[in-house]
């Protein structure tokens, strides 16, 4: 709990109702969408960049770290205050400050919910492309911190491809702009350094986002395969033919079995896998592309390809994908969600390895993931209340992550490193690489001031499996990935 003087100083900056310090209030902010814990000394909810600046200056004088937090939906422990200090919550900074429809950009605050932006833009015929599966609740500031992806980022790119400029507060309290209203600016691209830095370099207070026009036509396909390898080959074949769907998702048999009991989306539980494919664009070209994709899937053994043309039909095809994580609660009370990325051509090999690991450890593993860019999300289902089960799940997860790296992939595709994977960074970076990254924090004067204990491994270099607990979840209807 914060000392009374600190509370009074914070209240003088943001107001009495914007400072939380009672133990029962702090408990709400000791975790994000993970189960790892870390208690802040105080929580502040500013409403402007100027207030954020003053809070940062106060924290600097007192030697306290600051952890920026949005909706707390992160999946790698990124918003957990590992060293106490001040948790700065941006959810009251949620305004759309400007929509420039002619230049297809908007200026927004970091606490704005992702989906709320596209909803507000629909009357202009525009939308914001990055769509994390948590987009109904996640905030744009958090998306910037993690460089968030999503099902439709295959064709349009992730967050960094849709952010033109950032207003940030630096570790000394200075308010600065990185980037601006145009895509091509001279000088170092500091904007890109901050995107994906997981709150360790600066605190974002305004975002200039790039907007896209709503597509004239959209078609959704559901391709059903009796063999996982056939579905995996179809993913590479579609993109190998020069087509880049807006979304290309895969669900396996374990996932579909749970989904049908819970959602009744019509996915065949006896199939090995389904591909959910969406194409967008001009009316004439979209129909041709959909037919070409249907032919590829059928040539590679798809037993059936369903097509949705109307919004209602397309929503029905997506229902199982959107409800997949919540449905997995039928398999076990808890899950360990992984986030590795592999080359598309290695999907069959890696998925075989994932299932082998599950069999060896005795856990069902459900795979529902962004197949188009090889971003895997194996979900290890287990019962955390049983002695030793959590430790076994963590060991299995470590093997799966190593499998992704050995296949030429990496340790995260969209969830970030945070606390969960920081000790895996040495698998893909040398000590010199890591030291060079740390020097960026020195250049920003943010080391140990903003979100300490994230991204970089402990000095000892040992793998701290307790930090992997950051991604063990209780399952429920609102789970997502």
- For the ranges 80-84, 137-141, 281-285, the lowest mean pLDDT is seen at 281-285
Q: What is the C-alpha separation between 121 and 332, in angstroms, rounded?
A: 40
Number of neighbouring beta carbons within 10 Å of residue 311: 10
Whether 460 has a pLDDT exceeding 50, the answer reads no
Q: Helices 4-14 and 49-62: crossing angle, nearest 10°? A: 160
Per-residue pLDDT, 465? 41
State which H helix or E strand residue 89 sits in.
strand 86-89
Per-residue pLDDT, 431? 95
Per-residue pLDDT, 10? 98
Whether 5 has a pLDDT exceeding 60, the answer reads yes
Q: What is the C-alpha separation between 344 and 347, in angstroms, rounded?
A: 5
- Of 468 and 37, the structure prediction assigns the larger pLDDT to 37
SS (H, E, C) 423-442: HHHHHHCCHHHHHHHHHHHH
Number of neighbouring beta carbons within 10 Å of residue 349: 15
Per-residue pLDDT, 467? 43
Six token digits for residue 132: 């994390």
Strand partners, 341: 375, 410
Confidence of residue 181 (pLDDT cuts 50, 70, 90): very high
pLDDT digits (tens, 9 = 90+) for 76-120: 999 999 999 999 999 999 999 999 999 999 999 999 999 999 999
Among 297, 309, 79, 316, residue whose Cα is nearest residue 203:
79
Q: What is the C-alpha separation between 209 and 118, in angstroms, rounded?
A: 11
Whether 335 has a pLDDT exceeding 90, the answer reads no
Whether 481 has a pLDDT exceeding 70, the answer reads no
Give all domains of the chain, ordered by start, each with its CATH number.
4-89 (3.30.43.10), 96-213 (3.30.465.10), 217-327 (3.30.70.2190), 331-474 (3.30.70.2740)
Percent of the chain residues past pLDDT 70, beyond the cut: 95
Q: Could you tell me which residues come within 8 angstroms of residue 77 by beta carbon, excluding any fewer than 6 positions away? A: 32, 34, 36, 418, 419, 420, 454, 467, 470, 471
pTM, two decimals, is 0.91
Q: What is the C-alpha separation between 308 and 315, in angstroms, rounded?
A: 8
Instruction: Check if the beta carbon of residue 41 is closer than 8 Å to that of residue 59.
Output: no
Work out the average pLDDT over 8-17: 98
Residue 238 CB-half CA count within 13 A: 34
- Of 474 and 239, the structure prediction assigns the larger pLDDT to 239
- For the ranges 260-264, 281-285, 322-326, 349-353, the lowest mean pLDDT is seen at 322-326
- Of 481 and 411, the structure prediction assigns the larger pLDDT to 411
Per-residue pLDDT, 461? 41
In DSSP notation, 184-251 reads: --SS--HHHHHTTSTTSS-EEEEEEEE-EEPPSEEEEEEEEESSHHHHHHHHHHHHHTT---SEEEEE
Length of the chain: 481
């Amino acid at each position: 709990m914060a000392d009374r003087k600190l509370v009074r100083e914070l209240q003088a900056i943001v107001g009495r109702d914007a400072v939380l310090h009672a133990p029962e209030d702090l408990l709400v902010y000791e975790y994000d969408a993970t189960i790892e814990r870390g208690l802040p000394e105080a929580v502040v909810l500013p409403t402007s960049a100027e207030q954020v600046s003053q809070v940062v200056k106060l924290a600097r004088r007192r030697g306290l770290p600051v952890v920026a937090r949005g909706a707390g939906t992160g999946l790698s422990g990124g918003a957990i205050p590992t060293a106490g200090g001040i948790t700065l919550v941006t959810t009251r900074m949620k305004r759309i400050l400007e929509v420039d429809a002619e230049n297809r950009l908007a200026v927004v605050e970091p606490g704005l919910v992702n989906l709320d932006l596209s909803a507000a833009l629909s009357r202009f015929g525009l939308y914001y492309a990055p769509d994390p599966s948590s987009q109904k609740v996640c905030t744009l500031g958090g998306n910037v911190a993690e460089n968030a992806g999503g099902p439709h980022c295959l064709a349009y790119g992730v967050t960094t491809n849709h952010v033109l400029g950032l207003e940030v507060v630096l570790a000394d309290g200075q308010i600065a702009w990185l980037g601006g209203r145009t895509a091509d600016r001279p000088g170092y691209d500091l904007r890109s350094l901050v995107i994906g830095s997981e709150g360790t370099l600066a605190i974002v207070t305004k975002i200039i986002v790039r907007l896209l026009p709503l597509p004239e036509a959209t078609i959704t396909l559901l391709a059903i395969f009796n063999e996982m390898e056939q579905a995996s080959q179809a993913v590479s074949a579609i993109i190998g033919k020069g087509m880049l769907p807006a979304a290309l998702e895969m669900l396996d048999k374990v996932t579909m079995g749970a989904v049908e009991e819970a959602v009744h989306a019509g996915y065949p539980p006896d199939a090995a896998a389904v591909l959910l494919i969406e194409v967008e664009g001009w009316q004439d070209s979209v129909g041709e592309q959909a037919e070409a994709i249907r032919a590829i899937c059928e040539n590679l053994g798809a037993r059936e390809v369903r097509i949705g043309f109307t919004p209602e039909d397309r929503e029905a095809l997506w229902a199982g994908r959107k409800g997949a994580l919540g449905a997995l609660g039928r398999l076990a009370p808890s899950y360990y969600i992984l986030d590795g990325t592999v080359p598309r051509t290695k999907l069959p090999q890696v998925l075989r390895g994932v299932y082998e690991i599950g069999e060896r450890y005795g856990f069902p593993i459900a795979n529902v993931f962004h197949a188009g860019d090889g971003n895997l999300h194996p979900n290890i289902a287990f019962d955390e209340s049983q002695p030793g089960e959590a430790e076994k799940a963590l060991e299995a997860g470590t093997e799966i992550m190593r499998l992704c790296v050995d296949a030429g992939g990496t340790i995260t595709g969209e969830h970030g490193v945070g606390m969960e994977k920081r000790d895996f960074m040495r698998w893909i970076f040398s000590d010199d690489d890591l030291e060079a990254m740390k020097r960026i924090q020195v250049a920003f004067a943010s080391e140990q001031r903003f979100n300490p204990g994230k991204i970089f491994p402990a000095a000892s270099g040992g793998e701290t499996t307790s930090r992997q607990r950051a991604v063990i979840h209780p399952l429920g209807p609102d789970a997502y990935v």
